[in-house]
Amino acid sequence: MTNVAAWRRFDHLQLLLIAMLSLLGLMTVYSAQADWGRQLLWLLLGACAYSAAAAFDYRRLRAVAPGLYAGMLLILLAVHLVGHSALGARRWLSVAGFPLEPSELSKLLLVVVLAAFLSRSEGVSWRSFGVTLLLVAPPAALILTQPDLGTTIVFVAVLFGMLFLARARAWQLFSLVFAAGVAVPLLPYLLHGYQRRRLEIFLDPNQDPLGAGYNLLQARIAVGAGGLFGQGWLHGLQGQLGFVPERATDFVFAIFAEEFGLLGSLVLLAVFGLLLIRLLRAAAVAPDRFGELLAGGVFLMILVQVVENVGMNIGLLPIAGIPLPLISYGGSAMITTLAALGLVQSVALRRREVVLGDGALGTITRRAQA
């Protein structure tokens, strides 16, 4: 692949949208008085991961998928065994002095593993449906028991979405929905105290306006206070005075919405929307089924996180610890997200092409084996 050909195939719009989101993220994290210098470092590391992933031929991942799966189980297990606690949950691993959140990385690993497995055949047989569930169950259980409700939600949504994209049968999908319908009433018994409390508070935020409902209420107040045009960057009353809890991570959107208003929020959502469509487009042009499912999986991973994060910030969805991709403060999520987007870029770079005219000068992408 020549440089010029690569340049032409490169999804510039995707990179532009990513750059816009990263810039807005950096500004918001700065406003939220988090360590933005560190966030810049994460962003630069993420940019390296993005470039490396884009340059890397994603197809080579298929071969190592079983290894990746084993690695995912290993790091999730390590969290249980030697992880650090924060806010009542074990989620952190210390790697060379850096705090690492394996559940963030596991989101991408799950996408890769599922894409690899589901691309082994056209459609989804009942057998591979069962194997898929068996594959997802162990890491999901490890994450749920950390406990990390947010990542579990991402797992379930990615599983369902990728089965759908892999053309799973309607009955298979219905049975999943049915299983979820059975599991949800059991949820209160499975959830940890604070998670159950979050769910109850979501259902009735006035129940405890100064306690657990406080986060929800304050975030909503901040978003609402933004109004149409916002209070201006660094001038959000709620955010600047620290009323919004977790203002650089889970509730970073509230800070953004207060300072940039409805217009800014709509622009942010539009950029996310465009990026998501761009990811699906990569799936649509993917040279093989693996690439299609990989891009689709990353699409799902980002969509679920954006929806859940914004949704909980505006009181539409219950609070679950999910970062807003590319915006929230945090290294693991930033690097994982950029690596995932880099893989999608890699898919786009290696898309199918129809050669017109001088085929010798063109590059015909080898069609990958099914």
Partner 1 sequence: MIQLGGVTPKARWSMRLVAAASLAVVVIGGLAVKLAQLQVTDGVTLAGMARANSVHRVVLEADRGIVYDRHGAPLVSNSPVWSLEVVPAGLLLDARARSLELAELARITGQPEPQVATLLAAADPYSSVDIAPGLSEEQELAINERLPQLPGASIVRHAVRTYVDPLVFGHVLGYVGPLNDADLKRLRKLGYQPGEVVGKVGVEAGLETLLRGRNGWADVEVDARGEVVRTIATQPPVPGDSVYLSLDASLQRATAQSLAAGLVRDGKTAGASVVIDPRTGELLALVSLPGYDTNLFTHGISQADYSRLINNPDRPLLNRAIAGQYAPGSTFKMVTATAGLQEGKITAATLLSCPPYLNVNGWIYHNWASYSLGQMNVAKALATSCDTFFYQVAAMVGDVTLAKYARAFGFGQAKSIEMPGVMPGLVPDSIWKQLQCGVPDLNSDACRWTTGDTITFGIGQSYLLTTPLNQAVYVAALANGGKVMRPTLLDAVRDASGREIQSLHPQVTGTVPASADNLMAVREGMREEINRPYNMNYWFRAAGVPADGGGKTGTAQWGGSGLDLPTHAWFVFFAPYSQPEVAMSIFVERGELSEVEAAPIGVQVMKFYRDNVGAIRAGTI
Q: ∠ CA(359), CA(364), CA(366), 5° rounding?
A: 150
For partner 1, the closer CB: 37 or 206: 206
Q: Is 307 in the site for partner 1 (CB under 8 A)?
A: yes
Give Cα separations from 335 to 24, 60, 188, 258 (angstroms). 16, 20, 33, 27
Q: Is 356 in the site for partner 1 (CB under 8 A)?
A: yes
- Amino acid symbol at 199: L
Q: What angle, 0 to 180 degrees and rounded to 10, lies between the N-to-C axes of helices 252-285 and 289-313?
A: 160
Find the helix or strand (DSSP H, E) in which 158 lies. helix 149-165
Distance, in Å, from the CA atom of 273 to the CA atom of 279, rounded to the nearest integer, reads: 10
Structure tokens at 241: 């005075």
Q: Is 33 in the site for partner 1 (CB under 8 A)?
A: no
> Residue 336 Cβ, how far from partner 1 at the closest point, in Å?
20
> Residue 256 Cβ, how far from partner 1 at the closest point, in Å?
11
Backbone φ and ψ of 245, nearest 5°: -75, 160
Distance, in Å, from the CA atom of 21 to the CA atom of 281, rounded to the nearest integer, reads: 19
Q: Is 357 in the site for partner 1 (CB under 8 A)?
A: yes
Among 27, 45, 48, 221, binds partner 1 (CB under 8 A): 221
Q: Is 222 in the site for partner 1 (CB under 8 A)?
A: yes
Q: Is 218 in the site for partner 1 (CB under 8 A)?
A: yes
For partner 1, the closer CB: 50 or 253: 253
Q: ∠ CA(317), CA(178), CA(155), 5° rounding?
A: 50
> Residue 365 Cβ, how far from partner 1 at the closest point, in Å?
9
Distance, in Å, from the CA atom of 339 to the CA atom of 348, rounded to the nearest integer, reads: 14
Q: Is 181 in the site for partner 1 (CB under 8 A)?
A: no
Distance, in Å, from the CA atom of 69 to the CA atom of 111, rounded to the nearest integer, reads: 10
> Residue 167 Cβ, how far from partner 1 at the closest point, in Å?
6
Q: Which residue has the tokens 């089924």?
A: 289
> Residue 14 Cβ, how far from partner 1 at the closest point, in Å?
14
The secondary structure of residue 206, as a DSSP letter, is: G
Whether the Cβ atoms of residue 308 and residue 253 lie closer than 8 Å to each other: no
For partner 1, the closer CB: 120 or 192: 120
- The one segment of 5-13, 25-33, 69-77, 80-88 that binds partner 1 by CB under 8 A: 5-13
- The one segment of 52-60, 87-95, 211-219, 334-342 that binds partner 1 by CB under 8 A: 211-219
For partner 1, the closer CB: 25 or 261: 261
Q: Is 165 in the site for partner 1 (CB under 8 A)?
A: yes
Q: Which residue has the tokens 């799936």?
A: 283
Among 36, 42, 272, 329, binds partner 1 (CB under 8 A): 272
Give the total of residues touching partner 1 (CB under 8 A): 68
Among 82, 179, 266, 370, binds partner 1 (CB under 8 A): 266
CB proximity list for 118: less than 8 A, separation 6 or greater: 124, 128, 132, 162, 163, 166, 293
CB proximity list for 311: less than 8 A, separation 6 or greater: 317
Site for partner 1 in 277-306 (CB under 8 A): 277, 280-281, 283-285, 296, 299-300, 303, 306
Q: Is 351 in the site for partner 1 (CB under 8 A)?
A: yes
Q: Is 316 in the site for partner 1 (CB under 8 A)?
A: yes
- Amino acid symbol at 121: S
Site for partner 1 in 235-264 (CB under 8 A): 237-238, 241-243, 257-258, 261-262
Q: Is 227 in the site for partner 1 (CB under 8 A)?
A: yes
DSSP 264-294: HHHHHHHHHHHHHHHHHHHHHH-SSHHHHHH
Q: In the complex, which residues of this chain contact partner 1 (CB under 8 A)? A: 2, 4-5, 8-9, 161, 164-165, 167, 206, 209-210, 214, 217-218, 220-228, 237-238, 241-243, 257-258, 261-262, 265-266, 269, 272-273, 276-277, 280-281, 283-285, 296, 299-300, 303, 306-307, 310-311, 314-316, 351-359, 361-363
